[in-house]
């Protein structure tokens, strides 16, 4: 299914000379093209229009790679984000992008060389740098059209301490599978939820089964995979439903191929809560569990619920191997101690990410 069907392509003048730009343009023959000096100066139409079906190709001047911003008072997992694409075709009700990105356009940075230059400056010899493209985008949703993985994966071998994570709710793995020689440096991550939640709150994303089959193909092809139970939503009977998801993935996929697993409870800013309510009046996700305002200004489930949820989720996962690296996203040390009786840096399987780090 073609997820990217722009009515207009806006290209920065300086991006026209970049090698990746004509490759993108060749995929959208016949689409109106507008060349601008700087996409930032293009008026955001979101205040006047319902939709903004525009693909923007930029020669991005700012930092493409940034440290994951984390949140006040929570433990950091030393992750870096590379915002090469901004925008996502899926309509997940809980998605933080609804708060951060307020128009429907998709932006792709065509200056791939700059990404690798930044990568070279960030990396430190002898330490693994984890970087992902899935913060402001689904890493693979547009890959059949944009083929960004074809630009990135062949060049990773020049940066052997770098692991690139591609997080997705799609099954678009065909391009990746063509780059088997990059498998030691690529982790393909799937965001997982029970099918019931996919149906109600992840409109447009592929089914759980399709995610499983895609993950299995990647693992069987030698790639490592990651799974992100984030957000866990405490729907009625959530324990059985999430356990079924864990069982499906962890019994069907070689656990040695699982690079890491994250678990995070539903969390949202007050402004995102308003967006939930306005855009998805029938969504029930805010009605489950009990939320409190946390010191970082986000609502989370009351700690009692979160700790209980984490203990159970970790139990479900560790049934398949005590050394599977499981970490919590955006949680304070208190929660780590209550679940694991220790901090992440004290856990051997997480030493890759949480130990004292140069980054």
Partner 1 sequence: MINEIRTVSLNQIDLNDKTFCFSYPLSYSENEVFVKSADEYGIISPVVLRMNHWGGYTVVCGFRRLFWAKINNVQEINAAIINLDGLSCFRLAVSDNLSTRRLNIFEVSTVIDKLIGLFGIQLSVIIKDYLPLLGYPPNINILDRFRFISNFSEPQKKLLYESNIEIEKIIAFAHLDKEAWDNAIDILLKLKPGVNKFNQIIDLIKEISQRENISQKTLLDEPSVKDIVFNEESHFSRKTDMLRDLLSKRRNPTLSKFEEEYLYKYKRLKLKNNIKVIHPQSFEGDTFKAEIVFKDSVELKSALSALAVVCDDKSLDSLINFTTNI
Q: Return residues touching partner 1 (CB under 8 A).
A: 46-50, 73, 277-278, 281, 284, 286-288, 290, 292-295, 300, 302-305, 307, 332, 334, 338
Q: In whole angstroms, how close is the CB of 302 to partner 1 at the nearest point?
A: 5
Residue for token pair 């547009």? 142
Q: 159 or 288: whose CB is closer to partner 1? A: 288
The residue whose two tokens read 């919590």 is 328
- Residue number with CB closer to partner 1 (2 or 43): 43
Nearest approach in angstroms of CB 292 to partner 1 is 4
Using the minimum distance from each CB to partner 1, give the nearer residue, 45 or 144: 45
Question: Across the beta sheet with 291-293, what order do the strands follow?
Answer: 267-268, 299-301, 291-293
Length of the chain: 359
| Residue 221 neighbours by CB distance under 10 Å | 16
When the beta carbons of 282 and 322 are compared against partner 1, the nearer one is 282
Q: Which long-range contacts (CB under 8 A, 24 or more apart) does 300-307 make?
A: 300/265, 300/266, 300/267, 301/234, 301/265, 301/266, 303/334, 303/335, 303/338, 305/234, 305/265, 306/265, 306/331, 306/335, 307/335, 307/338, 307/339
Q: Residue with structure tokens 């040390």? A: 333
Q: Give the C-alpha distances (Å, rounded to integers) separating 284 from 127, 277, 290.
A: 43, 10, 13
Q: For partner 1, give the closer residue by CB, 1 or 287.
A: 287
Element spanning 267, H or E? strand 267-268
Largest CA distance in the chain: 60
Please enumerate in sequence order all residues whose Cβ is within 8 A of that of 308, keeping only pairs 6 or more positions apart, or say none.
none
Minimum CB distance to partner 1 smaller for 249 or for 268: 268
Question: Taking the complex as a whole, how short is the minimal distance between the CB of residue 102 and partner 1, in angstroms?
Answer: 11
Residue 85 Cβ vs partner 1, minimum distance, rounded to whole Å: 26
- The residue among 142 and 301 lying less far from partner 1, judged by its C-beta, is 301
Residue placing its CB nearer to partner 1 in the complex, 233 or 245: 233
What does the DSSP assignment read for 317-340?
HHTT-TTS-EEESS--HHHHHHHH
313: left (phi over 0), alpha (psi -120 to 50) or beta: alpha
* d(C-alpha 125, C-alpha 133), whole Å: 22
Q: How far is the CB of 239 from partner 1 (least distance, A)?
A: 16
Closest CB to partner 1 among residues 119, 309: 309
State in angstroms the smallest separation of the CB of 53 from partner 1. 14
Work out how close the CB of 271 gets to partner 1 at its nearest, in angstroms, rounded to a whole number: 13
- Cα distances (Å, whole numbers) of residue 182 to 2, 67, 138, 185, 314: 26, 23, 20, 6, 30
Rounded to the nearest whole angstrom, what is the least distance from the CB of residue 312 to partner 1 in the complex? 15
| Least distance from partner 1 to the Cβ atom of residue 48, Å | 5
């Amino acid at each position: 299914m073609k997820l990217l069907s722009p009515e207009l392509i806006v290209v920065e003048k300086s991006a026209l000379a970049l090698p990746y730009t004509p490759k993108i343009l060749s995929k959208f023959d016949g689409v109106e093209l507008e060349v601008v000096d700087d996409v930032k100066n293009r008026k955001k139409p979101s205040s006047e229009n319902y939709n903004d079906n525009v693909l923007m190709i930029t020669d991005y001047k700012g930092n493409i790679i940034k440290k994951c911003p984390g949140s006040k008072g929570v433990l950091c997992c030393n992750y870096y984000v590379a915002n090469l694409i901004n925008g996502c075709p899926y309509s997940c009700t809980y998605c933080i992008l609804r708060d951060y990105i307020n128009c429907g356009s998709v932006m792709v940075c065509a200056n791939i060389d700059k990404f690798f230059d930044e990568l070279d400056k960030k990396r430190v010899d002898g330490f693994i740098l984890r970087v992902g493209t899935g913060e402001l985008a689904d890493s693979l949703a547009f890959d059949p059209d944009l083929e960004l993985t074809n630009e990135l994966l062949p060049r990773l071998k020049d940066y052997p301490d770098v692991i690139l994570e591609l997080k997705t709710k799609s099954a678009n793995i065909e391009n990746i599978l063509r780059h088997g020689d990059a498998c030691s440096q690529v982790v393909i991550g799937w965001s997982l939820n029970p099918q019931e939640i996919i149906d109600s709150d992840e409109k447009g994303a592929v089914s759980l089964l399709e995610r499983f089959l895609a993950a299995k193909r990647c693992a069987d092809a030698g790639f490592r995979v990651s799974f992100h139970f984030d957000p866990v939503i405490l729907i009625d009977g959530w324990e059985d439903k999430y356990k079924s998801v864990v069982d499906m993935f962890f019994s069907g996929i070689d656990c040695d191929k699982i690079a890491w697993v994250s678990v995070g409870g539903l969390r949202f800013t007050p402004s995102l809560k308003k967006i939930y309510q306005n855009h998805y009046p029938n969504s029930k996700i805010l009605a489950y569990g009990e939320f409190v305002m946390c010191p970082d200004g986000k609502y989370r489930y009351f700690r009692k619920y979160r700790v209980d949820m984490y203990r159970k989720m970790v139990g479900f996962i560790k049934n398949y191997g005590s050394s599977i690296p499981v970490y919590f996203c955006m949680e304070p040390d208190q929660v780590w101690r209550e679940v694991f009786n220790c901090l992440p840096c004290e856990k051997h399987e997480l030493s890759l990410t949480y130990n004292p780090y140069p980054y």
